Amino acid sequence: MKINAIITAGGTSSRFGSKNKLLEKINGIEVIKYTVDAFRYANVDKIIICANISIMDELKEIFKDYSNLMFVEGGSTRQQSVYNGLLADKCDYVLIHDGARPIISTELINICIEMVKVQKALTVVTKTIDTIKEVEHGKIVKTIDRSKLYNTQTPQAFEYNLILEAHKKFEGKNFTDDAGMIEKMQQPVYILDGSYKNIKITTQSDIKLAQIYLEE
């Protein structure tokens, strides 16, 4: 049984600043290296990094001593990048994770792997704790019942053939996460409780927060 992990690293970091956020260092270590290392020590057979061509050479230098790691050129969208990763190497199950989420634990990754073997499609989530308002034309229309609301994170894990079928079916669309495609196919997607610390690095302030979490 073969388990792959696809790490998305194809974004341009437009909201972060002049430097690609994945190359930003926290305590002397690149964001992307924290992410990859969590999967490196998990029960994963191959890690596929779907990278923006502009940082490909730097990533190859960072990971020059790593084995079982493959680089694939990312696409113009996250969805296309993941699809490129899926086509690069067949497996039985695949985990898909944002490269900009460095505070992911190897333990949670391994739980995802065991769960997906039974459930075929799952995503890590956290319970929504903020009050959510629906707004139209600058005015609040109603307050949403948050008892059924969850924030979706990554990793998301799938039976390989299932998620490959979804990507083929919805090629050219613009889904913001892979679980959404499985939902659209009317297939069940299960949830696994994650951590509020599993933040996605988007702005400079996220770097400071991630540093606090990594030092705990």
Closest CA to 181 of 80, 113, 89, 98: 80
Question: What is the per-residue pLDDT across 32-76, written as a single tens digit (0 to 9) for each?
Answer: 999 999 999 999 999 999 999 999 999 999 999 999 999 999 999
Read off the tokens for 192.
């696994």
CB 8 within 8 A of CB 74: yes
| Terminal Cα-to-Cα distance of the chain (whole angstroms) | 35
pLDDT value of residue 216: 83
Average pLDDT over the chain reads 95
Percent of the residues in the chain that have a pLDDT greater than 70, as a whole number:
96
Return all residues near 127 (Cβ < 8 A) that are at least 6 apart.
149, 150, 151, 193
Phi, psi of 110 (to 5 degrees): -65, -35
pLDDT value of residue 12: 59
pTM summary value: 0.94
Going along the chain from its start, the domains and CATH numbers come out as 3-215 (3.90.550.10)
Separation of alpha carbons 54 and 157, rounded Å: 28
